[in-house]
Amino acid sequence: MPTQQILSDPAKAAIFLTLTINESAEDKVADILTDVSALGRAVSFRVPDGDLICVVGVGARAWPRLFEAPLPKHLHEFKEIRGDKHTAVSTPGDLLIHLRARTQDLCFELANQLMNKLGPYTAVVDETHGFKYFDERDLLGFVDGTENPEGKAAVTAAVVSPEEDPNYAGGSYVLVQKYMHPLDEWNALSVEEQERVIGRTKLADIELDDDVKPTNSHVALNDLDPVDGKERKIIRDNMPFGTIGTKEFGTYFIGYAADPEVTETMLEHMFLGNPRGNYDRILDFSTAETGALFFAPPVSFLDDPTTVESDSKASEQEETSSEPEDSSESHESLRIGSLKNSHK
């Protein structure tokens, strides 16, 4: 089972768990996280073609509590975005567990095994079970994730490069929000009006022409212009969820990005408007109930956090390297080196 695999084909089933860490339980949790890969292999071994994937993300407050390694370059707490009418809320979250598979039983089994270990030391603040809805559609009836980049462009969009942050190359910043939809109100709109809200045709999933597409449509406000020739894209792995009895229906938004500023800029355009006040009309039918930012480190770090040097060790080495060398030791080193060279 791949752990910390950011890029994959759309899943048919998913479970999203957001946890907070109990006070004084950090050492226990840190130790359990190094065992996630082994737990995943044990579960996936039972269904080899189940495509089970687990991604663990860590929040900014939890990171220094769990690891001695420095904070990833762009990791911070998600800040509330309060628009004139709608708000992207910020809610607690120390850990994110994102499970994907062909079937829900695999996600459930691994979630259960993980929580058997983490349960005594954490609290679940959100649990959402997602499912594939026809041809990758959300419960609003539109295809979700159409604009995800592919190939090398997907790697560039979602995965931290060695140049950007050598300590955590291969990781990704992941922002999550749980959106609730009043489907009765949405379904009262005509299909043509729904298409104007989204910016795409409902059946064929074709983007509306610019002269027809409203500037406050979801597509228009999430399509960011390149900066210095670089595309600003993210990888969405959203899933619909719902319960019939309580009429609670929604979309779990999860966006992976090499730089969280890209995702946050999209949200600013949605909630504040671009220009200000021209907010995303989808928010009239989609309310964000959660919001948190995490960093999903590469699997090498998750399995063994000591692979990244701690801040204290790094500062000690800097101090040592900055101290003047003893002249006698320096000459001795040169002398030995010269003797070695003379015998070559």
Q: In this structure, what token pair is assigned to residue 217? A: 């449509």
What DSSP assignment string belongs to 278-337? ---GGGGG-EE---EEEEE--HHHHH-GGGS--HHHHHHHHHHHHSPPPHHHHHHHHHHH
Are 104 and 129 in contact by the 8 Å Cβ rule? The answer is yes
Tell me the Ramachandran region of residue 56: left when phi exceeds 0, alpha when psi lies from -120 to 50, beta otherwise. beta
Q: DSSP secondary-structure letter at 42?
A: H
Alpha carbon distance 30, 32 (integer Å): 6
* Long-range contacts formed by 150-155: CB under 8 A, 24+ apart: 153/231, 153/233, 154/7, 154/235, 155/7
Sign of the torsion angle spanned by Cα atoms 141, 147, 51, 305:
negative
Q: Are strands 292-296 and 172-181 parallel, antiparallel or unpaired?
A: antiparallel
Q: In this structure, what token pair is assigned to residue 25? A: 């339980």
- The amino acid at residue 261 is E
List phi, psi (to 5°) of 197.
-65, -45
Instruction: Report which of 40, 30, 57, 64 is spatially closest to residue 297, judged by C-alpha positions.
Output: 57
- The amino acid at residue 94 is D
Active-site residues, by number, are: 144
Instruction: Report which of 79, 3, 74, 5 is spatially closest to residue 237, judged by C-alpha positions.
Output: 5
Instruction: Report which of 186, 152, 156 is spatially closest to residue 169, judged by C-alpha positions.
Output: 156
